Amino acid sequence: MVQLDRRQFISTAAMGLAALTLNGASHALTPPSLREAAAGKGLLFGTALRAALWQDKPYQTLVAEQCSLVVPEGALKWDTLRPAPDRFDFSGGDAYLKFAKENHMKYRGHTLVWHEALPSWFASTVNSGNAKKFMLDHISKVVGRYAGQMYSWDVVNEIMEPHDRRPDGLRKTPWLEMLGPEYIEIAFRAAHEADPKALLFYNEDQLHPETPQAEMMRQKALLLFKDLLKRNVPIHGLGLESHIFSNGPMAGEGFQRFLHEISDMGLLITVSEMDVCDQTFPADVMERDQLVAKKYHDYLSVVLQFPTVAAVSTWGLSDRYTWLSMHNPRKDGLPVRPLPFDSDLHPKKASEAIHQVLSEVPARSNRIHAINRLSA
C-alpha cells in the first residue's frame, strides 16, 4: 500500500481524481471530506438540515462524513417552534442536536428574530405593548434550552433593506415597528444572558454583489456594528448568507473593503447559507455544474482570504434537498443543481471547487482555532 502524505491527498482530491497512479500502480482513493479539508485550515464546514433527513440513512451518512457543523433549516424558526403563543415544540431542534452530538458536529441556531416564518397567531397577538416581553421570553426560553451546547446563534436575520429607504438602512419589520431600532440590541443582550458561551451573529443576505444597493447596505451595516460595539452589545460576528445568483454581479472590491473593516473591528465572519442558483445556466449538466463550481470557487476564494472567516456552510448539502427547487425553479423544468453533491449524493464539480479553495487559502489564526475548538 502506497502511503500518500496529506498534501498529495488534498491536492489529488482538489483535482477531482478518484484514483492516483504511483510507481505504475493504481490506488483507489477516498478523497478527504470537506470537514477534514476545512479542519486542515482551522475552519468548520457545515450545512442546513431538514426533516427529510430522518427517512434518509445515506444522506445522514453523507452529512456526518462531510460536515462539522449543522443548522436546522426551519426547526428553530418561530412558526415551527411555537404552534401557539403559550406552547413550544422543541422536538425538531432537540433531534438535530442529538444528531450533531452523535456525529461530533457543532450546532448552530437559526434564527431568533426574523420578519419571516412568524406563526399565524403572531399578528393578532403581539403588539407594541407586549412585543418586548414576547421577544425576551422567546429568547430566554429557546436560547436557554440549548445553553452551553450551541456553537452560535443567528440572533437577527435579514434586518437591512435598502428599498425601505430608512436612513439607518433597517428593514421595516413587525419588530422594528413595535420596538424601534432598539430591538436589535434587546435581542443580542437577551441571547447573551441566556447563553454566555454561544457566539452571536447578525446574519444578512446579498451583501456581496458589486451594486449600489449592496454597497449602501454594507455601509449601513458597518455603522450598525460600530454603534453596537461602542455600546458593548454582545455581538460577535457577521453571517454572510451567500445565496449566489447565476446572473448576479459578483463579489468585488467594495465587498472586500467591507470584509476588511468588519475584520478590523475584531468581528468574526461566516459563510452561513451558501448555494448557487442555476436558473439561467444552460440545461447541459456538465456545463451547468462547471458554471456553478466556478461561482463557488470565485466567491469562496475572495471570502476565505480573510482569516477572520471561521466557518463555511451551504444551505443543504445535496441537490436532493434544496429550497431552490421551490423558490427558484428552472423554466425548463429540469431539477436545480445548486449544491456540492448531486441528488445521488455524489460529489460534483462544486465540491471539487470548495476543496480547491480550501487547499489554497491561509490557515486560520490561533484565535479561530480556539473558537472552533480545533487544535492549531
How far lies 184's CA from each of 57, 114, 204, 245, in Å?
Answer: 39, 11, 13, 28
Residue number closest to ligand XIL, CB atom: 323
Cβ neighbours around 148 below 10 Å, total? 8
Nearer to ligand XIL, 117 or 222 (CB): 117
Q: Draw the binding track, 188-217, toward ligand XIL (x: CB under 6 A; -: no contact).
A: -----------------x------------
Nearer to ligand XIL, 39 or 198 (CB): 198
157 binds ligand XIL (CB under 6 A): yes
Residue 297 beta carbon to ligand XIL: minimum distance, rounded to whole angstroms? 22
| Phi (first) and psi of residue 257, to 5 degrees | -60, -40
Residue 98 in grid coordinates: 442529538
State yes or no: is 158 an active-site residue.
yes
- Of 16, 40, 74, 252, the residue at the interface with ligand XIL (CB under 6 A) is 74
Residue 55 beta carbon to ligand XIL: minimum distance, rounded to whole angstroms? 17
Residue 74 beta carbon to ligand XIL: minimum distance, rounded to whole angstroms? 6
111 upstream amide cis, omega within 30 of 0: yes
**In sequence order, what are the residues at sequence separation of 6 or more whose Cβ sits closer than 8 angstroms to the Cβ of residue 65?**
33, 35
Nearer to ligand XIL, 205 or 278 (CB): 205
Residue 12 in contact with residue 31, Cβ under 8 Å? yes
Residue 177 beta carbon to ligand XIL: minimum distance, rounded to whole angstroms? 20
Residue 268 in grid coordinates: 468574526
What's the rounded Cα separation, in Å, for the pair 158 and 203? 6
Nearer to ligand XIL, 33 or 270 (CB): 270
| CB burial of residue 8 (10 Å; 0-12, 13-18, 19+) | middle
What's the rounded Cα separation, in Å, for the pair 288 and 335? 12
- Of 78, 255, 323, 341, the residue at the interface with ligand XIL (CB under 6 A) is 323
299 binds ligand XIL (CB under 6 A): no
Q: Draw the binding track, 14-53, toward ligand XIL (x: CB under 6 A; -: no contact).
A: ----------------------------------------
Using alpha carbons, select from 180, 170, 177 the residue that is nearest to residue 216.
Answer: 170
Residue 75 beta carbon to ligand XIL: minimum distance, rounded to whole angstroms? 11
Q: Draw the binding track, 253-292, toward ligand XIL (x: CB under 6 A; -: no contact).
A: --------------------x-------------------
Return the residue matching grid coordinates 473591528.
Answer: 265
73 binds ligand XIL (CB under 6 A): yes
State yes or no: is 273 an active-site residue.
yes
Residue 317 beta carbon to ligand XIL: minimum distance, rounded to whole angstroms? 13
Rama region for 24: left / alpha / beta (φ>0; ψ in -120 to 50; rest): left
Nearer to ligand XIL, 241 or 342 (CB): 241
Q: Which of residues 92-151 bind ligand XIL (CB under 6 A)?
A: none
**Type of residue at 6:** R
SS3 268: strand
241 binds ligand XIL (CB under 6 A): yes
How far lies 342's CA from each of 17, 91, 328, in Å?
Answer: 17, 29, 17
| Phi (first) and psi of residue 325, to 5 degrees | -60, -35
Residue 181 beta carbon to ligand XIL: minimum distance, rounded to whole angstroms? 20
173 binds ligand XIL (CB under 6 A): no
What's the rounded Cα separation, in Å, for the pair 35 and 138? 33
**Residue 199 β-bridge partners:** 152
Write down the catalytic residue from 161, 215, 241, 273. Answer: 273
Nearer to ligand XIL, 12 or 80 (CB): 80
Hey, what's the torsion of the CAs at 159, 162, 167, 169, to 10 degrees? 20
Q: What are the residues binding ligand XIL (CB under 6 A)?
A: 73-74, 157, 205, 241, 273, 323
Q: Which residues are identified as catalytic?
A: 158, 273
